């Protein structure tokens, strides 16, 4: 058994899994694109999400101005949005969710910057089609909050290491606690939120490469 999630973080860190990624791992972190990606990636592979995001950018619905993007989404017909996000599946459902979410963000927060500053996990979870993984992805990667995302890869990896957890939030607390308690040893990172962002990214990249741990990986701690 691992000492804590910090041991897992250090073992993953040595593998240099994010060498081709941006700082926060999630492409275009801290933008509205993350909100869109968090919905689109539900029940599908990231590679399919990238195709939908490209369609949205090519048609200028998703642009550099986050609040303009929000307005574009809230003015689009659900049918034309569905056509653009066809590659990532469940397009009618996701189109409706994205349309309603964009409208709700504009109504509640007025613009993207105010959303980033003031949105809560509870508000996100009360929106149709946003579960804990989507909410936490938005909080960490779009809003730079100190929240660690838990996904299927994370659950499988911890199970393979002999951990049994009752639910999502128990896994999340365990992951966050080990990092928080050792954050003083992670001075090269400018913030706790950045460590969580990269930690989750490392877990996803490790899992996608179908790598496995052996005793050697943890031997140094
Ligand atoms: N997988 C590879 C992902 C990625 N960037 N790169 C991913 N899955 C969910 N993601 C979000 C962002």
What are the sequence ranges of the domains in the chain?
5-23+147-218, 32-142
Query: Residue 212: its pLDDT value, please?
Result: 82
- For the segment 54-92, what is each residue's pLDDT rounded down to a tens digit? 999 999 999 999 999 999 999 999 999 999 999 999 999
Correct CATH for 32-142 of 1.10.10.10, 3.20.20.140, 1.10.340.30, 1.25.40.10 = 1.10.340.30
Distance 114 CA to ligand 1 centre (A): 25
- The 3-state DSSP composition of the chain as helix, strand, coil percent (nearest 5) reads 65, 0, 35
Top mutation candidate among 33, 38, 138, 201 for ligand 1, by most atoms within 8 Å of CB: 201
Query: Residue 220: its pLDDT value, please?
Result: 53
Q: What is the mean pLDDT of the chain?
A: 96
Which alpha helices (H) appear in 41-138, and where do they start and end?
Answer: 46-58, 66-75, 78-84, 91-109, 112-118, 121-125, 132-137
Assign domain 5-23+147-218 to its CATH architecture.
Orthogonal Bundle (1.10)
- For the segment 23-39, what is each residue's pLDDT rounded down to a tens digit? 999 999 999 999 999 99
Query: Would you say residue 219 has pLDDT above 90?
Result: no
Percent of the chain scoring above 90 in pLDDT: 92
Query: Would you say residue 221 has pLDDT above 70?
Result: no
Please work out whether the CB of residue 98 comes within 6 Å of at least one atom of ligand 1: no
Which residue CA neighbors atom 10 of ligand 1 most closely? Answer: 26
Query: Residue 173: its pLDDT value, please?
Result: 98
Which residue CA neighbors atom 1 of ligand 1 most closely? Answer: 46
């Amino acid at each position: 058994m691992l000492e804590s999630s910090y041991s897992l973080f250090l073992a993953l860190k040595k593998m240099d899994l994010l060498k081709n990624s941006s700082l926060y791992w999630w492409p275009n972190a801290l933008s509205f694109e993350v909100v869109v990606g968090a919905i689109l990636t539900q029940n599908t592979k990231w590679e399919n999400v990238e195709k939908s995001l490209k369609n949205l950018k090519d048609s200028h619905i998703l642009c550099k101005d986050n609040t303009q993007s929000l307005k574009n989404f809230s003015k689009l017909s659900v049918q034309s949005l569905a056509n653009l996000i066809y590659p990532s599946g469940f397009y009618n459902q996701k189109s409706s969710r994205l349309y309603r979410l964009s409208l709700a963000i504009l109504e509640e927060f007025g613009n993207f910057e105010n959303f980033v500053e003031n949105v809560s996990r509870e508000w996100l979870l009360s929106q149709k089609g946003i579960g804990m993984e989507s909410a936490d992805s938005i909080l960490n990667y779009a809003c730079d909050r100190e929240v660690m995302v838990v996904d299927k890869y994370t659950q499988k990896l911890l199970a393979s290491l002999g951990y049994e957890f009752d639910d999502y939030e128990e896994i999340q607390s365990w992951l966050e606690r080990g990092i928080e308690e050792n954050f003083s040893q992670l001075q090269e990172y400018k913030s706790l939120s950045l460590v969580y962002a990269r930690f989750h990214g490392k877990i996803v990249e490790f899992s996608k490469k179908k790598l496995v741990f052996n005793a050697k990986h943890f031997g140094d701690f």
